[in-house]
Amino acid sequence: MGFDFELILAIAFLVTGVFWIYDRIVYLPKRKLALANMTPEARGAINKEAQQRLAQTPRFVVEVKSYFVIIAVIFGLRSFVVEPFQIPSGSMLPTLEIGDFILVNKFEYGLRLPVLNTVIIPTTEPKQGDVVVFKYPRDPSLNYIKRLIGLPGDTVAYRNKVLTVNGTPVSKAFLAKLPISLNPSQEPVDVFSEQLGDVQHDIYNSYRFTPQEGEWTVPAGHYFVMGDNRDNSADSRFWGFVPDENMKGRAFYVWLHWDEFLSLPSFKNNGLIE
């Protein structure tokens, strides 16, 4: 089971919010009254922290409610505007490297309720070629990132390293042969430039056999996704389609790269994600 930070943040928001409201209803009027009964000199001599504990306000109420504003701001930004993620695997090479820190547009595919992920205000629909972050269908506590290949109703096929959508092969042009790739295994790969819809991006093809060949028809309300590292990606070819309610947003920017904890972060990959 993954670490569901979104759920933990939502719980923290609710708990601190309850304490904040409780304090304003029960103790704030008493503190105001206590301050009003003091002389100006006495009020001036009491610092803000001491004022919070007037009228016998319990220390735990003061402590918990003090975190509400900062948690509310973080919760609001992450839920409705933009959310950061770190790339943990090489499934999106060469587009995204292990250790890239990315930003995800949370309102691109509709304003959604936190945790439940239900659309409350529709905006735009996911498009072929988008790099999308979604909740893994087999374990929604995990976030995955892949490229959107097939829309509802599309027929996607992948055979002998050739991708077709609705019977039309997706255009790709050979760029280079890498004797050492960015894969953890450093296996040799061919790099291609692929034109998927309006998006042009690079992909890896290894010299190994093509995994999980087949043809799939995307059902209504679902999407077919694949990694750009075509022979090193666990994606819709293996575990099926992504329901619309699992979509979290579109990845649009790399803002930092950090290989490992003891290394220095860098900005070598900073830029928009194609």
d(CA 6, CA 71): 12
* Count of structural domains within the chain: 2
Question: Is the Cβ–Cβ distance between 204 and 231 less than 8 Å?
Answer: yes
The answer to whether 233 is a known catalytic residue is: no
Instruction: State the SS3 of 145-195.
Output: EEEEEECCCCEEEEECCEEEECCEECEEEEEEEECCCCCCCCCCEEEEEEE
Question: Is the Cβ–Cβ distance between 245 and 223 less than 8 Å?
Answer: no
Specify whether 69 is located in the same domain as 167: no
The answer to whether 91 is a known catalytic residue is: yes
Contacts of residue 9, defined as CB under 8 A and 6 or more positions apart, other chains included, come to 71, 74, 75, 78
Below-70 pLDDT ranges, the chain: 1-3
| Span 20-46, pLDDT tens digits | 999 999 999 998 898 888 888 888 888
Bridge partners, 85 (sequence order)? 102
Specify whether 68 is located in the same domain as 144: no
Specify whether 199 is located in the same domain as 261: yes
Q: How far is CA 2 from the centre of its chain?
A: 14
3-state class (DSSP) for residue 50: helix
Specify whether 191 is located in the same domain as 85: yes
Tokens encoding 177: 């042969």
Tokens encoding 125: 């629909």
Specify whether 120 is located in the same domain as 71: no
Selected catalytic residue, list 91, 181, 233, 236: 91
State residue 21's pLDDT score.
96
Terminal Cα-to-Cα distance of the chain (whole angstroms) = 31
Q: What is the dihedral of CA 33, 38, 42, 47, to 10 degrees?
A: 0
Amino acid occupying residue 66: S
Give the DSSP letter of residue 208.
S
Bridge partners, 223 (sequence order)? 242
Specify whether 108 is located in the same domain as 238: yes
Contacts of residue 71, defined as CB under 8 A and 6 or more positions apart, other chains included, come to 9, 12, 13, 16
Domain that holds residue 45: 5-76
Specify whether 69 is located in the same domain as 150: no
Q: Which of 46, 76, 106 is the last residue of a domain?
A: 76
For 13-142, strand residue ranges (E) read 82-86, 100-105, 111-112, 119-121, 131-135
Specify whether 180 is located in the same domain as 48: no
CATH of the domain at 239: 2.10.109.10
CA 227 vs CA 107, 110, 201: distances in Å: 23, 24, 12
Selected catalytic residue, list 106, 146, 172, 248: 146
Specify whether 65 is located in the same domain as 131: no
State residue 3's pLDDT score.
61
Q: 98: closest CA among 217, 247, 263, 274? A: 263
State residue 258's pLDDT score.
93
**Sign of CA pseudo-dihedral 158, 162, 164, 170:** positive
